[in-house]
Amino acid sequence: ANAAQSGEGLSSLVHYLVKPHEKHSLIDKEPNNDYSAHLLAFEWAARRQVMKAYERLLSLTSRGLSGEEAWNENAVELNRAARLHTRLYIAQKFYDSVHTVVDAGCRAVLEDLLHLHLNYELIDMAYYLLEDGYLSSQQLDHMKEDMYRLLVKLRPNAVSLVDSWDYSDRELRSVLGRKDGHVYEHLYKWAQDSQLNRTQVLPSFEKYLKPMMKE
Amino acid sequence: HPDMAEERRKATFDTDEMAAVIWGSKKYMMRRREITKKVEEHPELHDPYSQAFMTREEGVENAARKATTMIRMLDELGVDPLQFEDVFHLTNEVIGIAGHPLALHAVMFIPTLQAQCSDEQQHWIDLAYNRRIIGTYAQTEMGHGTNLKKLETTATYDPKTQEFVLHSPTRTSMKWWPGNLGKSSNHAVVVANLVINGENYGPHNFIVQLRDLETHQPMKGITVGDIGPKLAYNDTDNGFLSFDHYRIPRLNMLMKHARVAPDGSYTRPPHAKVGYSAMVYVRTHMITHQAMFAAYALTTAVRYSAVRRQGEIKPGCGEVKILDYQTQQHRLLPQLARAYAFMFTGRAVKSVHARVDKDVAKGKVDEMAELHYILSGLKAVVTHLTGEAIEQARMSCGGHGYSKASNIFEIYGVAIGGCTYEGENMVMLQQLAKYLMRA
């Protein structure tokens, strides 16, 4: 923030702090399957929060607080800035990685997942986008509708998307998550291994429960 | 199962192709399957019964049995111990995620020695690599976690004997939490404040023998033991450790970067962050591991949601799969998207780490700090969101998700351990914030 305000050069990790940007999102005006305006919204939220946290830090020190005191008074805002920066980084890496996938079938479903991710995360952080009018409530509704559309579109691929992680039943160690789907028979079989089932009558019955019933 | 078969018929993509995308290549996907098959063929690598029914002692013993059997069988299994990814997958198959006595030896002890030993200290790497010694990494103290500056353990140099005297001056200075420190390890890389002629040079790494190699009894001047049961990861003996004026030779300070000469003169490391290499290494791998934890829980939740039927959407049409409810889709699919996002991000950051690591070895440390900061943010955000994802997966399984039969309890417990180990998340965010304010 300091370097950005002083016009110094910034590394690619934080270049978005000085990147020219629109005042309002174009999220509902994107051509089909182009979610670049979504990524710009992540940048907007991160940039705004970083600069706001920075300005608040300066304001606290100008009121006579020491650097450490001002930092502590501003820590929640600073953490929010760090989170938004990181969520931007994750979104960018997801976006870049999906666009390198060659197999058309995989790429198509990964794009659906990516678009779901971008909508879901931006809806989750909408506060930062609505606050200064960067995003309108209509655009927020547009993202919600797009998210619901993507849920329906992804639904038939749901099981195959988890199958693709290729976990064996041994690795997963989950009766509920068995690859063959035969959950209920195995749930009963698993319960039979319980130590409490080694005898029909537990010692606690003779020791405590039976005397209680006779009291 | 007809419901699962129906689900698999509906897919619009090839799951083998996708597995190759997830695991980096078709070759490695096949390799994973080979390892899975070999483990299946060897009953001595299996659990005698579900880990969920084991007491802690049974779990620790079972993990030790499987870990040592697995190591002895590496040749037979055709697994090269130098192939990190193969060993990682083999370990997940055989041991699972609740830990084992050599867990920290492989992921913290050896990488730290590799990153911090000078040329004349390479024998430590050989000893560790050949498992002649068992080690861990002991940094955190009972009263001091992430804040390295406030560690209390001291290593005071005595030029007369050319030794460091390790000492724990207070109860809060006791090392507390390091995995495998309590009962398994006989050596540890210990982080202590270097003191020469009364001057404190800050935290440095020292290799310290904790237990006799024959009897496994603690060395004189060492107090060591297990800290007790935890939320999860109970097959690992997280430990406590304190020193009572315990002496180690000068060359037991890891001197690749900072050095202390026999006369006590000190040479600074080229960059303040090089001592953090072990942490940076672990955080790099944590991102993909967290993606895997989320994917474990979501695999269970999505599959179960495809066979569990409840309620009717259209009267008379029969009970529907719970995965057909919008709320269930909204609960699971965005979390699944996150698991994929974290996996891709983890892979991207691993490749940055590999490049930076090579640069650091050549003395070029420019990108190390930037990597350290973004990993701090990633570690905090990803562990937190993974915890959320696993909890959503658990609840989406209804009551059965609460049963240990789902194994989600262990996945959750192990994954959210990541919110506090390797740096508590609030502190991690503050570290990234510092960088952002400067930028």
| Alpha helices (H) along chain A | 1-5, 36-62, 67-73, 75-98, 104-124, 126-130, 137-154, 158-163, 169-172, 183-191, 203-204, 210-214
Rg, Å, chain B Cα set: 24
Structure tokens at B398: 């209804």
Q: How many CB atoms lie within 10 A of CB A198?
A: 9
Total count of residues recorded for chain A: 215
Structure tokens at A163: 């199958």
- Chain A hits for B407, CB-CB cut-off 8 Å, are 172-177
* Residues contacting A121, CB < 8 A, separation 6+: A42, A87, A91
Q: Could you tell me if B399 lies within 8 Å of chain A, comparing CB atoms?
A: no
C-alpha closest to that of A166 among B305, B74, B36: B36
Q: With contact defined as beta carbons under 8 Å apart, do B188 and B178 qualify? A: yes
What is residue B435's predicted lDDT score, i.e. its pLDDT? 96
What is residue B276's predicted lDDT score, i.e. its pLDDT? 67
Which chain B residue shows the shortest CA-CA distance from A154?
A: B333
In the block, which residue shows the tokens 């001291």? B154
Average pLDDT, chain A: 96
Distances (CA, A) of A102 to A67, A117, B25: 50, 20, 12
Could you report the per-residue pLDDT of A157-182, keeping only the tens digit for each?
Answer: 999 999 999 999 999 999 999 999 99
Structure tokens at A41: 């919204």
Using CA of residue B396, residue B400, residue B405, residue B409, what is the dihedral sign?
A: positive
Q: Could you tell me if B25 lies within 8 Å of chain A, comparing CB atoms?
A: no
C-alpha closest to that of B290 among B341, B356, B328: B341
* Residues contacting A158, CB < 8 A, separation 6+: B7, B302, B305, B306, B323, B329, B332, B333, B336
Q: Is the pLDDT at A80 greater than 90, yes or no? A: yes
Q: Tell me whether residue B318 is exposed, middle or buried, using C-beta atoms within 10 angstroms of its C-beta: 0 to 12, 13 to 18, 19 or more.
A: exposed
In the block, which residue shows the tokens 């006595």? B101
- Chain B hits for A93, CB-CB cut-off 8 Å, are 341, 344-345, 348-349
* Residues contacting A126, CB < 8 A, separation 6+: A135, A140
The 3-class SS string of B268-323 reads CCCCHHHHHHHHHHHHHHHHHHHHHHHHHHHHHHHHHHHHCECCCCCCCCCCCEHH
Inter-chain contact B405–A191, Cβ cutoff 8 Å? Answer: yes
Could you report the per-residue pLDDT of A119-147, keeping only the tens digit for each?
Answer: 999 999 999 999 999 999 999 999 999 99
**B424 a catalytic residue:** no
Catalytic residue among B93, B141, B152, B422: B422
Alpha-carbon gap: B245 to the closest alpha carbon of chain A (Å): 35
- Chain A hits for B39, CB-CB cut-off 8 Å, are 170
Across the interface, which of B39, B51, B333 has its CB nearest the CB of A116?
Answer: B333
Alpha-carbon gap: B318 to the closest alpha carbon of chain A (Å): 19
Structure tokens at B331: 């609960």
Q: With contact defined as beta carbons under 8 Å apart, do B181 and B241 qualify? A: yes
Q: With contact defined as beta carbons under 8 Å apart, do B313 and A192 qualify? A: no
Q: With contact defined as beta carbons under 8 Å apart, do B431 and B373 qualify? A: yes
What is residue B96's predicted lDDT score, i.e. its pLDDT? 97
In angstroms, rounded to a whole number, what is the distance separating the alpha carbons of residues B253 and B165? 11
Q: Which B residues in the span 85-144 are in contact with A, Cβ-Cβ below 8 Å? A: 92-93, 96
Nearest 5°: the CA angle B11, B13, B17 is 130
Q: Which B residues in the span 311-340 are in contact with A, Cβ-Cβ below 8 Å? A: 323-324, 326, 329-330, 332-334, 336-338, 340
Inter-chain contact A113–B323, Cβ cutoff 8 Å? Answer: no
Alpha-carbon gap: A99 to the closest alpha carbon of chain B (Å): 11
Structure tokens at B345: 């991000």
Element (H, E) at B164: strand B163-167
C-alpha closest to that of B98 among A171, A1, A133, A159: A171
Best of A5, A56, A106 to substitute, by most chain B Cβ atoms within 10 angstroms, is A106
DSSP reduced 3-state for B240 = strand
Best of B22, B66, B333, B419 to substitute, by most chain A Cβ atoms within 10 angstroms, is B333
Structure tokens at B333: 């699919």
DSSP structural state of residue A64: T
Could you report the per-residue pLDDT of A42-62, keeping only the tens digit for each?
Answer: 999 999 999 999 999 999 999
Q: Which A residues in the span 174-203 are in contact with B, Cβ-Cβ below 8 Å? A: 174-183, 187, 190-191, 193-195
Q: Please give chain B's pLDDT, 439 residues, in tens.
A: 999 999 999 999 999 999 999 999 999 999 999 999 999 999 999 999 999 999 999 999 999 999 999 999 999 999 998 898 999 999 999 999 999 999 999 888 998 999 899 999 999 999 999 999 999 999 999 998 767 788 999 999 999 999 999 999 999 999 999 999 999 999 999 999 999 999 999 999 999 999 999 999 999 999 999 999 999 999 999 999 999 999 999 999 999 989 999 999 999 987 766 666 777 888 899 999 999 999 999 999 999 999 999 999 889 999 999 999 999 999 999 999 999 999 999 999 999 999 988 888 787 877 888 899 999 999 999 999 999 999 999 999 999 999 999 999 999 999 999 999 888 999 999 999 999 999 9
Q: With contact defined as beta carbons under 8 Å apart, do A92 and A8 qualify? A: no
Q: How many CB atoms lie within 10 A of CB B297?
A: 34
**What is the pLDDT averaged over residues A9-20?**
93
C-alpha closest to that of B78 among B27, B46, B38, B43: B38
What is residue A49's predicted lDDT score, i.e. its pLDDT? 97
Best of A146, A171, A184, A188 to substitute, by most chain B Cβ atoms within 10 angstroms, is A171
Q: Could you tell me if B295 lies within 8 Å of chain A, comparing CB atoms?
A: yes
Inter-chain contact B433–A78, Cβ cutoff 8 Å? Answer: yes
Inter-chain contact A170–B397, Cβ cutoff 8 Å? Answer: no
Could you report the per-residue pLDDT of A95-126, keeping only the tens digit for each?
Answer: 999 999 999 999 999 999 999 999 999 999 99
Q: Could you tell me if B432 lies within 8 Å of chain A, comparing CB atoms?
A: yes
- Chain B hits for A42, CB-CB cut-off 8 Å, are none
Q: Which B residues in the span 29-48 are in contact with A, Cβ-Cβ below 8 Å? A: 29, 32-33, 36, 39-40, 46
In angstroms, rounded to a whole number, what is the distance separating the alpha carbons of residues A131 and B266? 54
Inter-chain contact A1–B338, Cβ cutoff 8 Å? Answer: no
Inter-chain contact B304–A194, Cβ cutoff 8 Å? Answer: no
Q: With contact defined as beta carbons under 8 Å apart, do B148 and B168 qualify? A: no
Inter-chain contact A108–B12, Cβ cutoff 8 Å? Answer: yes
